[in-house]
Every structure is written in C-alpha cells, then in structure tokens.
C-alpha cells in the first residue's frame, strides 16, 4: 500500500515539475545547446557564481574557445584572462587541463560515460551528473546546493546537508525520481525550482508545482530547512603590498602555478603584524633585491576570499634600477593592466593606482 502511494507521489512530482519547467524555464544561453563541452563550461562557471554574472562570461568564453580543441591549445594567460573576475581560479586551470586531456585521449570528443568523465580534472560527482544528464540525457543525479535544499524540503529531511551521508541519501532519492527519457529536463527543472521558488529564505510555496507533495510545507517547517552547519568565518589577515615604480612602470609578479591565484598577476606583498607595515615593506623590497626611495602609503582596501579576509595596506615606492625581469616578474605601465589576467583582489590595487594623482616620481 505504502509503495503504491509512494509511486503515485513520485509520478506527481515528476509530472508537476516538468510541466512547470516547460512553461517557466529561463532563457539561458547554455540551454540552447546540448554540446557537452559547453554544458561543462557553464556548470563549472555556475559553481559559486550567480547566473546573472555567469551569462556574459559564458558567452565570451565559448566565443573565444568554441570547442575542446581551441581551449586545449590556448595559452594559459589567455584562458585566465577570460576567467578574470569569476574567482576560484583552480576551476579554470582544471578546465584547461581537462580540455588538454580530452583532446589527447579522446581526440577532442567529450566522453559520454561516468567512468571516463569522472577522470577529467575538476569534475566531481555533481559536474559529471550534470553533463551526463543535461548533455547526454543519461539518468544521473546532479545534486548541488539548490537541489539539496529542494529535496530536504520535499522529503522533510532534517539531517545536515554538509554531511556526505545526507548528500548520498539525496543523490539516491533524485536518481530514483529521474523520469525515463527526460533526465536532461529533470536535472535543470530541479535547479530552476531551487533558483526561482524554493529559495533559501521565505520560499514561494504558493507558486510551487510541488506544493501538494512537499512534506516540509505540509508540516510548516520549510523555513527551518535545509539544516546546515555554519561555515567558519574567513580568517582576518593584515596584508601589506608594495607598488614598486620605476618611472612610469610598475612591478608585477606572477603567482606560482599551484598556489592561491596561481598563474595570475599580483603586486608584491606579504602578511604582517598590525603596526609592522614598515618592516613588511622593507622585507618585501629586500626579497626583491631592490633599493627603494620615497616610500609612502597610498591607500587601503579589503578583500574577502572564502577562507581569508584581507585588510590590505598599500604602499608605493620608487626604484632607480629595474631588476627582476624574468617569466615571473614584469614591468608594465598602468595603461597595460588590462592586458594581463589580474584577479579582483589586485584590481582593487590597480584602481587605487589609476585614481591616484601622486603616482609620478
Ligand atoms: N546552476 C547550476 N547549473 C545550472 C544550470 N544548468 N542552469 C541554471 N542554474 C544552474
């Protein structure tokens, strides 16, 4: 009896959700294609970044790198430049590595099995499920934060969604529900419901196609779900940076490939104790083997990463001799900032320089 009732509810969930999606889905650029390469790009961009922001980046990226081959053969600096502003740069470095692997091992043709796809750098269970279901219409679940929220409400699940066991439980529930032949729409419909109606605070239950089937709504506890342990606050750090000038040119440093913001350009700097800016500036210059004069503070900025909260103190100085010209060091004018991949955190320093009237030696 229970099984019959469950089957009936499952059918209602599938039908109501798909009908709602067919009528209400947003017109998003990655929904105009079934190309697994483009779905892959969109899904990686959509991790941690809002749809509104992703649209422009996606269009520019797939225009410049329309297929695996173009991305695989591109210069890393060019790839990073097209990601600049999206953050989480390890994602794009993995995309680049993944494209190289697909070109080499699969002649540029995106693989279509779970076994092969999950070997591609940066592709975990979520992205694998999203590409297999959306591009290839295969019945794999793609469970991200939105889907965890939607399902914890539909099923009235009160276990912490930060725990692997809860994610697994929900992945199984989603898999069980994927309708025959409509995996692609079902995956996108769940994401769409999470984005448009089953939103984190004050979900729009009255407009929801799953109003009748939602157990949390029936009990009036939809606002208490999902249960999620709080993330740790980003660590506060006092950071000192040097804008080193030689005439019109400014010294930029390329971050090591595997570290924070790897491959992107930064200003020399380091963490310092509060009230130890002077020592920090001297250490930075010493490490660069530069003798600087006219050291003065030009401003402050703040940047919050996932795990760090930088209180940035920015100094300017002048040097007579330009040393340090190699792959990792570069002297550029402020007009050339736009030619290099510079992450948001250092764009804040660029802005300060561009707005500063006293940058002349
Ligand atoms: N969030 C993650 N993947 C998405 C998609 N394909 N469409 C809209 N939002 C998403």
Q: Which atom of ligand 1 is nearest to the CA of 195?
A: 9
What does the pLDDT look like over 15-72, one tens digit per residue? 999 999 999 999 999 999 999 999 999 999 999 899 999 999 999 999 999 999 999 9
Q: Are residues 151 and 29 in the same domain?
A: yes
- Probe ligand 1: pick from 21, 43, 145, max atoms within 8 Å of CB? 43
Residue 254 sits in the same domain as residue 304:
yes
Nearest residue (CA) to ligand 1, atom 2: 46
Whether residues 166 and 291 share a domain: the answer is no
Is the domain of 211 the same as that of 244? no
Place 361 in a pLDDT band, splitting at 50, 70 and 90: very low
> Which range is least confidently modeled, 13-22, 79-88, 140-149, 319-328?
319-328
**Average per-residue pLDDT for the chain:** 94
Number of H helices, E strands in the chain: 14, 7
Percentage with pLDDT > 70 across the chain:
97
CATH number of the domain that residue 351 is part of = 3.90.79.10
pLDDT higher than 90, residue 325:
no
Cα(50) to centroid(ligand 1), Å: 9
Report yes or no on 229 lying in a domain: no
Residue 201's pLDDT is 96
Q: 53: CA distance to ligand 1 center in Å?
A: 12
What is the position in ligand 1's atom list of the atom closest to the CA of 51? Answer: 9
**Catalytic residue annotation:** 43
Distance 190 CA to ligand 1 centre (A): 9
pTM, entire model: 0.90
Inform me whether the pLDDT recorded for 360 exceeds 70. no
For position 98, which CATH number holds?
A: 1.10.340.30
CA 237, CA 218: separation in Å to the nearest integer?
46
Q: Closest residue (by CA) to atom 3 of ligand 1?
A: 43
Alpha helices for the chain (secondary structure H): 2-24, 36-46, 51-64, 68-73, 76-81, 90-106, 114-117, 125-134, 145-154, 164-177, 183-196, 215-219, 277-287, 344-355
Same structural domain, 57 and 105: yes
Nearest CA to ligand 1 atom 5: 188
Q: Is the pLDDT of residue 357 over 70?
A: no
Digit-coded pLDDT (tens) for 171-224: 999 999 999 999 999 999 999 999 999 999 999 999 999 999 999 999 999 999
Q: State whether 155 and 80 are in the same domain.
A: yes
pLDDT at 255 over 80: yes
pLDDT digits (tens, 9 = 90+) for 276-323: 999 999 999 999 988 899 999 999 999 999 999 999 999 999 998 766
Domain that holds residue 47: 2-224
d(CA 28, ligand 1 centre) in Å: 9
Q: Answer yes or no: is 230 within a domain.
A: no
Last residue of a domain, one of 224, 249, 270: 224
**Letter string b/e over residues 140-156, b meaning 16 or more CB atoms within 10 A of that residue's CB:** bbbbbbbbbbbbbbbbb
Residues 215 and 270 in one domain: no
Contacts of 19 (CB under 8 A, 6+ apart): 209
Residue 32: strand, helix, or coil: helix
**Per-residue model confidence as pLDDT tens digits over 113-138:** 999 999 999 999 999 999 999 999 99
Claim to verify: residue 195 and residue 341 sit in the same structural domain: no
Rounded Cα–Cα distance for residues 353 and 58 (Å): 30
Amino acid 324: pLDDT: 63
pLDDT digits (tens, 9 = 90+) for 328-339: 899 999 999 999
The residue to mutate among 44, 51, 53, 143, having the most atoms of ligand 1 within 8 angstroms of its beta carbon, is: 51
Number of domains in the chain: 2
Instruction: Find how far residue 140's CA is from the centre of its chain.
Output: 22
211 and 239 in a common domain: no
Query: Which residue, by CA, sits nearest to atom 9 of ligand 1?
Result: 191
Residue 100's pLDDT band (cuts 50, 70, 90): very high
Bridge partners for 265 per DSSP: 254
**Which residues contact ligand 1 via a Cβ below 6 A?**
28, 42-43, 46, 51, 144, 188, 191, 195
Residue 151 in domain? yes
Q: How far is the CA of 357 from the centre of ligand 1 (A)?
A: 44
209 and 262 together in one domain: no
The DSSP call for residue 331 is E
Q: What percent of the chain has pLDDT over 90?
A: 89
Contact 262, 256 (CB under 8 A): yes
Using pLDDT thresholds of 50, 70 and 90, give the confidence band for residue 359.
Answer: very low
Residue 254 half-sphere exposure toward CB, CA atoms < 13 A: 17
Query: DSSP assignment, residue 157?
Result: -
Ligand 1 atom showing the smallest separation from residue 39 Cα:
6
Q: How confident is the model at residue 109 (pLDDT cuts 50, 70, 90)?
A: very high
State which of 224, 259, 279 marks the end of a domain.
224
CA distance 87 to 321: 34
Q: Are residues 119 and 162 in the same domain?
A: yes
Residue 181 and residue 66 share a domain: yes
β-partners of residue 239 are 271, 312
Q: What are 166's two structure tokens?
A: 């809860």
Nearest to 20 by CA among 162, 212, 255: 212
Of 101, 89, 100, 99, the C-alpha closest to 256 is 89
């Amino acid at each position: 009896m229970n099984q019959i009732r469950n089957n009936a509810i499952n059918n209602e969930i599938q039908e109501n959700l798909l009908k709602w999606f067919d009528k209400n889905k947003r017109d998003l650029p990655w929904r105009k294609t079934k190309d697994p390469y483009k779905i892959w790009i969109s899904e990686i961009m959509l991790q941690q970044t809002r749809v509104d922001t992703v649209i422009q980046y996606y269009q520019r990226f797939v225009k410049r790198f329309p297929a695996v081959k173009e991305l695989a053969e591109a210069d890393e600096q060019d790839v990073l430049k097209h990601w600049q502003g999206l953050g989480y740069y390890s994602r794009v470095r993995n995309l680049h590595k993944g494209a190289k692997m697909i070109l080499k091992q699969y002649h540029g043709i995106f693989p279509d099995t779970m076994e092969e796809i999950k070997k591609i750098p940066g592709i975990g269970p979520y992205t694998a499920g999203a590409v297999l279901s959306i591009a290839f219409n295969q019945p794999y679940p793609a469970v991200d934060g939105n889907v965890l929220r939607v399902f914890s409400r539909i099923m009235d699940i009160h276990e912490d969604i930060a725990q692997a066991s809860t994610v697994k439980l929900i992945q199984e529930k989603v898999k069980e529900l994927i309708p025959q032949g409509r995996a692609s729409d079902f995956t996108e419909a769940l994401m769409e419901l999470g984005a448009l109606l089953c939103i984190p605070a004050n979900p729009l239950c009255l407009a929801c196609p799953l109003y009748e089937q939602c157990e949390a709504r029936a009990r009036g506890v939809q606002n208490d779900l999902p249960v999620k342990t709080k993330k740790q606050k980003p660590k506060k750090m006092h950071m000192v940076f040097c804008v080193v000038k030689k005439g019109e040119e400014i010294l930029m440093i390329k971050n090591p490939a595997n570290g924070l913001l790897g491959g992107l350009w930064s200003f020399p700097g380091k963490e310092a104790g509060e009230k130890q800016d002077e020592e920090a500036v001297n250490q930075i210059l010493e490490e660069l083997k530069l003798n600087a004069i006219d050291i003065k503070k030009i401003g402050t900025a703040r940047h919050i990463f996932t795990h760090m909260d930088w209180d940035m103190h920015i100094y300017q100085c002048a040097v007579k001799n330009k040393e340090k010209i190699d792959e990792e060091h570069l002297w550029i004018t402020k007009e050339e900032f736009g030619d290099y991949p510079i992450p948001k955190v250092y764009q804040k320093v660029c802005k300060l320089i561009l707005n500063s009237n006293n940058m002349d030696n």
